[in-house]
């Protein structure tokens, strides 16, 4: 029986655990956090170590586990790993790369292994834009074919899109394409300048705000979830909009944020939204392909390793995780801001751009004037 989402105490249990099962991948995406490689690192966690990791994730009370990469389909034990997690009651998800390996047989096998949700990446509305971003000709066509196979198998389908200056101008066309693909979930990533993504031009704070507006408007029109990653201040934007629209009373914080699980997509449900704002180390933990434990895949602060540490001990007690969960330790304007517990800014971007994990979010237009009580 799945625990009620709203019951989770993020100091004890992460809502979502991401495990990068391999860095091997045939694509060369321009924003790749992992700087993926085309070979298997011999230090990857073994199947046994992976099964033990899944057991630990389950015993911590986490609900969602995402097997990412690289290209997770490059590991032949992916089916066994998914089966193990699904049998324990975890909602297992994965994000295969759009390559020749993405076949109807692969999708079918993932489904019969107990997969709850599958995501494909889409960063442009056509082959020209998407393939340039992904670094391999043909990636767009393979993504469209993969989407068709997933729809045919009936697995809840998610699109992931990373926005930066590069593809911002294509937002409307990308949104139209996503609407046509039969998704249950659109996860929109705001670029964190790390890995190969350091070379991409960042958006300005004003461009973030403009994109928030577009995403908010889309979220009101569609019947799928629009989830924002690494732009926690979207929560502040939504609260402000809902207050303007009078759908939220002045002084109330009980807005139904888009990053809550609000919809049910049938048996097994969908990989839904967290009951409250997730941030690096706060409802969220990342395990690298060699077992290193990080607060986020976008926040390369090593806090332990699965080969010798207990995931629960690191997540609950490591000083970095504890610091990240303490909104009153935020610096600069984030530390003053009344939205600091529902937002807190992207800790990953703050670290990538300043080397200080508690520094203010670099791309937020909001300017709190004096220290306010947080909500």
* Least distance to ligand SF4, CB of residue 369, Å: 11
CA distances for 181 relative to 66, 148, 244, angstroms: 21, 8, 32
- Is residue 176 packed enough to be buried (19+ CB in 10 Å), middle (13-18) or exposed (0-12)? exposed
Among 340, 347, 348, 357, binds ligand SF4 (CB under 6 A): 340
Taking a C-beta distance cutoff of 8 angstroms, is the pair 276, 262 a contact? no
Element (H, E) at 192: none
- Under 8 Å between Cβ of 143 and 93: no
Burial bucket for residue 2 (CB in 10 Å: 0-12, 13-18, 19+): exposed
DSSP string, 295-326: SBTTB----EETTTS-HHHHHHH-HHHHHHT-
User: Residue 242, interface with ligand SF4 (CB under 6 A)?
Assistant: no
Burial of 257 (0-12, 13-18, 19+ CB in 10 A): buried
Helical pair 127-134 and 139-153, crossing angle rounded to 10 deg:
100
Q: Considering the complex, what minimum distance in angstroms separates the CB of residue 340 from ligand SF4?
A: 4
| Interface pick for ligand SF4 out of 75, 84, 233, 260 (rule CB under 6 A) | 233
Max distance between CA atoms of the chain, in angstroms, equals 58
| Position 277 contacts ligand SF4 (CB under 6 A) | no
> Per CB under 6 A, which region of 55-63, 183-191, 259-267, 329-337 contacts ligand SF4?
329-337
Distance of closest approach, residue 337 Cβ to ligand SF4, in angstroms: 3
Among 40, 145, 333, 375, binds ligand SF4 (CB under 6 A): 333
Q: What angle do CA 11, 12, 14 make, to 5 degrees?
A: 85
Q: Is 366 in the site for ligand SF4 (CB under 6 A)?
A: yes
> What CA–CA distance (Å, rounded) separates 119 from 183?
9
Residues 2-61 contacting ligand SF4, CB under 6 A: none
Residue 42 C-beta: closest distance to ligand SF4, Å: 41
Give the total of residues touching ligand SF4 (CB under 6 A).
14
Whichever of 183 and 280 has its CB closer to ligand SF4, that residue is 280
Tokens at 19, concatenated:
């495990």
Q: Cβ of residue 140: shortest distance to ligand SF4, in angstroms? A: 34
Are 101 and 95 in contact by the 8 Å Cβ rule? The answer is no
Residue (144 or 205) nearer to ligand SF4, CB:
205
Q: Out of 30, 31, 134, 236, which residue is the one contacting ligand SF4 (CB under 6 A)?
A: 236
Judged by beta carbon, residue 1 or residue 373, the one nearer ligand SF4 is 373
Which residue, 116 or 374, has its beta carbon nearer to ligand SF4?
374
Instruction: Report 343-362 residues binding ligand SF4 (CB under 6 A).
Output: 343-345, 360-361
Binding site for ligand SF4 (CB under 6 A): 233, 236, 333-334, 337, 339-340, 343-345, 360-361, 364, 366
């Amino acid at each position: 029986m799945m625990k009620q989402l709203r019951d989770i105490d993020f100091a004890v249990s992460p809502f979502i655990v991401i495990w990068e099962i391999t860095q091997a991948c045939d694509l060369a995406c321009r924003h790749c956090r992992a700087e993926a490689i085309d070979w298997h690192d011999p230090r990857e966690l073994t199947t046994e170590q992976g099964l033990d990791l899944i057991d630990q994730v389950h015993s911590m009370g986490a609900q969602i586990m995402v097997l990412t990469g690289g290209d997770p389909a490059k590991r032949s034990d992916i089916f066994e790993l998914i089966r193990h997690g699904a049998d324990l009651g975890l909602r297992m998800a994965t994000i295969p790369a759009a390559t020749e390996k993405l076949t109807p047989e692969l999708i079918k096998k993932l489904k019969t292994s107990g997969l709850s949700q599958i995501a494909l990446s889409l960063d442009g509305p056509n082959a020209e834009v998407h393939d340039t971003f992904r670094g391999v000709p043909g990636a767009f066509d393979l993504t469209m074919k993969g989407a068709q196979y997933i729809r045919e198998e009936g697995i809840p389908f998610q699109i992931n899109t990373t926005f930066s200056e590069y593809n911002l101008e294509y937002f409307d066309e990308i949104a139209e394409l996503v609407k046509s693909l039969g998704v249950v979930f659109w996860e929109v990533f705001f670029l964190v300048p790390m890995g190969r993504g350091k070379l991409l031009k960042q958006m300005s704070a004003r461009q973030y705000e403009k994109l928030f507006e577009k995403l908010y408007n889309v979220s009101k029109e569609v019947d799928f979830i629009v989830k924002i990653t690494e732009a926690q201040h979207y929560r502040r934007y939504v609260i402000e909009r809902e207050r303007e629209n009078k759908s939220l009373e002045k002084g109330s914080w009980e807005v139904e944020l888009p990053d809550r699980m609000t919809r049910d997509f049938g048996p097994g449900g969908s990989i839904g939204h967290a009951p409250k704002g997730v941030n690096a180390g706060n409802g969220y933990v990342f395990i690298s392909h060699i077992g290193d434990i990080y607060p986020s895949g976008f926040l390369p602060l090593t806090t332990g390793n699965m080969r010798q540490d207990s995931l629960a001990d690191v997540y609950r007690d490591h000083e970095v995780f504890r610091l990240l969960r303490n909104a009153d330790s935020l610096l600069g304007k984030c530390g003053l801001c009344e939205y600091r517990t529902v937002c807190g800014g992207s800790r990953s971007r703050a670290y990538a751009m300043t080397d200080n994990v508690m520094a203010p979010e670099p791309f937020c237009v909001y300017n709190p004037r004096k220290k306010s009580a947080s909500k």
